[in-house]
Structure 1
Amino acid sequence: MHSEEKIKSLIRKYISGQYTAQELEEIRDVIAKPDVQQLFDEVLEEQGTDLIPDKDMDQPHLDDKLKLFYQKLDQQSLNEEAAPVSTPQIVPMFKRRYLRHVAIWTVFVLGAAVYGITRLRKASVKEQIVYHEQINPLGRRSKIVLPDSSEVYLGAGSRLYYPDTFASDTREISLEGEAFFQVTKNPRKPFIIHTGTVQTRVLGTSFKIDAFKNEPVSVAVATGKVRVDDVRGGKIRSLAVLMPGNMVTYTNERAATSAVLATEVSGWKDALLSFHNRTLRDITSVLERSYNVKVLYSKPAIANKKISVALQADMPLNKIMKVLAATAHFDFIISGQQVNIN
């Protein structure tokens, strides 16, 4: 019985034409065995076909390798036909026929592998690009439960883009606008929110993100730990690592951290709007999204007045405006979807 290396040695001699009469008999016995095809293929890979299944899975690349292999065979044929004719020439001719058969067989097997892998890759890609998009118009909020049971409270005038199923190693979604997240803890699969170039990464926690277009991005944490980075051109720049009661605001490529009440961060999901030393214009811009109204000021000085107030955004707009008017000392008139402040 021949060992695997012995069989390979015989195959190499057969391909090169350098063998003895005794070895030729052994070669004929070896080739007749059905389980020698794999060893024959391995030797072919070593002897110049360059067809390596693990690396040459791209079909055009495979075709190029096959053409080179055929060119080598044809060149060998020309060289052997130009050489003096003798009895041993019969063996190389048989060798060429057999090599062509093996090459075709190899390409067939590799082609089947390519077809199977291509279908698998296409199926995987198809699974990865099944996304949902939740768009909230002005004046509407919504709650979304993600595939991992994490909860997202999406604000008015906001958009959430998330997959039907998460990948095996990460949980990634995209946000434009504002939302409060209660993320299911999973240390093996980090939860990543993309908001433009800003990336917020957590393992399991609750926090709020504000990321409206052309406005500063802010991340405030209610529970757990959050990492915020700026990601551009494959480079990651750390902006902040936040704990409960921390907030980072990022604008004009500058990050600033500040303190915030964790209860107010989590209260947002229940329509609690808390403002600390904010201008009236900032406050009413939030109300414009929440109530789908337009707020107009008769005097800029009123719009720039700073106040601190807590509002319950599920109350009627008329009541909200009365609270603001009593705090900032102004008069107002609501006409349809427009609020005039005097």
Structure 2
Amino acid sequence: MNREQFAALLEKYQEGRCTEQEKQLVEHWYALLENDNAGGVSEDDLDGAEERMWSGMQEKASIPDLNGRDGNSPFRSIYLRWAGMAASLLLIAWFFAGKVLDRHVPLTAYTWQEKRNDSQNVLPIVLEDSSVVELRPGSSLRYPNRFEGSKREVVLKGNGFFSIRKNPRKPFYVHSGGVTTRVLGTSFHVSTAPGGRQTKVEVVTGLVSVYSEKTSEEAVDMLVSPNHTATFDRNSGKFSPGLAERPRLLNANISFQFHHAPLAQVAQHMRDAWGVDVQAENGQIMNCTLTADLSGQPLYTQLDIICAALGAKYKVRGSTIRIAGPGCKMRGTHAFQTRKPNPMQT
């Protein structure tokens, strides 16, 4: 175990992100070094204690040679205490080498550094593999100087936008707020709310898998595609699907000029262009026809126009858009002309 791994464990404990096993290790560790009756360790206890704990661990890691002293010697109690410390350190070293922290705190690189964005502007960070992280104000990123082994791993605290260079042989992992995001090469946002209660992953391009720190990588909780989100709630331990607030046009070759087109056809064009599933509460409304030019309009503006023309309403339910309305038996065919905006608008 090195100093970086030690500091990462204390940070997880302070933020309440430790597993029960990690929590017990920290409290036992602190009791041996600081206070025999420590029990739970408060944030104030750990503030400023890192240096003392690390120094004490290094100092007491080697046991003096007490051979030849009789069992009643006062050195006996010192020996037993130091032996307990050594056993504790061996347990901690084994723990850090095992699978638990292999997933929570990346161990695949030799040298790590951390950058924090204390400015009011986005801070771009270029990683060793030419991937780029746009770090938002108030956020920090821990990353290796060089990616070793079969993984590329970083630890994010706060918000960041990732543009990851594709490398199928070495997937990229982002650990943030109890969530691990795994990608091969794509771009996405990761944001953790203050307090770490929720972590949200929003995909711009490509496909990512997300899972909580309490599950294995093989048991992926959710796959997230472009214009979709996955939000992890730490209290429930579950992910919920959603849509991006500002979806980006994924296929500019899809036509949005409709002339007496049934809503079913319009919905299919929207799926192909935005990657978003559009459904109807009742099948009848899908037969209603629309005449309109929706080119250049953002997704939600397109939906507003469609619903205004058909006398319908829409709701976002998870990752699906559902349109509800009375249908068009009595309303006839609808036409709705729009002014074409700036073609760069999405």
User: Normalised by the size of structure 2, how large is the TM-score?
Assistant: 0.38
User: Structure 1 or 2: larger helix share?
Assistant: 1
Larger Rg: 1
User: Normalised by the size of structure 1, how large is the TM-score?
Assistant: 0.38
